[in-house]
Amino acid sequence: MHCKGWKSIYYEPSKTAFLGSSTISFNESMIQNLRWNSGLLEVGLSSFCPIIYGVSRMSIPQAMAYGYYAFQPLYSFPLLCYATIPQLCLLNGVSLYPKVSNPWFIVFAISYISSLSQHLSEVLLCGDSFRTWWNEQRNWMIKSVASYSFSCLDVFMKRIGIRKANFILTSKVIDEEQVEKYKKGIFDFQGSKLFLVILATLVTINMVSLFCGLARVISEASYDDMFVQVFLSFAILTFSYPIMEGMIIRKDKGCISASISVISVIISIIFLSLGSFLFY
């Protein structure tokens, strides 16, 4: 529509213009995001790619904005690398990042802190709370490694003809128990095992790497070398606390099932074993 000359404005009337219901369960939220991002990536890879088709018909900043959303699912690949490779190196005593005493460490620290600070300031300026920012960070990480990954896989399978285009409906049925959990900020992990396996596996890898790697760091006194990798694993686990809670602490029907936890542990052992083999 913008390529045909339509103009958009940001309009926020004092009276609510639209009301609707959003997904509140983990499974439905992941399915909805998978559908959205799969469609966006298909547009990005089509002849209507915003970076190519859009540039000649709209301003470059606007085309870049559309391009950002079109290729957003590709975030999953660098995030999967960040969630596995530094942890594997930490477990094997291999330093990837500058030492704390290295001047380049400041660059990494400023980049990370400024990114979080920008998002926090945007949330607070919109009238929301610190808790909203925290939840958005957690949800972004979960979506990026779960629904984004499967969005890319979905598009790839459609491209090579393995999977046909279809429309997956999102259930909007109200479950009172899910509503209560949602209000309390408790994740309901009932649903697709595929999403949960990848999340539980990454959490397991980070738990093993953090505890074993930290023990190695303490024994070798290599704090200066390995600080960033220890902090990275700690940060991932902090944001992923609902996943750990669902795997270890919770016993209600909305927790992560034992079978998924076992599968994730097996995959983690295989990954860490094969990865460690590369360092010998």
The per-residue pLDDT for range 211-230, each reduced to its tens digit, is 998 898 888 888 888 898 99
The per-residue pLDDT for range 108-151, each reduced to its tens digit, is 889 889 989 999 999 999 888 888 888 888 888 888 888 888 88
Cα–Cα distance, 228 to 276 (Å, whole number): 20
pLDDT at 208: 92
- 132-136, 176-180, 189-193, 232-236: range with lowest mean pLDDT: 176-180
Band (pLDDT 50/70/90 cuts) for residue 157 is: confident
Output the CA torsion sign for 79, 81, 83, 89: negative
Vertex 21 angle, CA 20 and 22, to 5° = 125
- Residue 185 per-residue DSSP state: T
Query: At CB < 8 A and 24+ separation, what contacts does 112-119 make?
Result: none
pLDDT at 171: 60
pLDDT at 267: 92
Band (pLDDT 50/70/90 cuts) for residue 164 is: low
What number of other Cβ atoms are within 10 A of residue 146's Cβ?
Answer: 24
Query: At CB < 8 A and 24+ separation, what contacts does 77-82 make?
Result: 77/152, 79/141, 79/144, 79/145, 79/148, 80/145, 80/149, 80/202, 82/232
User: 169 pLDDT exceeds 60?
Assistant: no
Mean pLDDT of the region 166-192: 68
User: CB under 8 Å to 134, separation ≥6 — which residues?
Assistant: none
Query: Which comes out higher in pLDDT, residue 36 or 187?
Result: 36
Cα–Cα distance, 106 to 85 (Å, whole number): 22
Mean pLDDT of the region 23-52: 84
Among candidates 198, 167, 215, 214, which has minimal Cα distance to 268? 198
**Single-letter code of the amino acid located at 7:** K
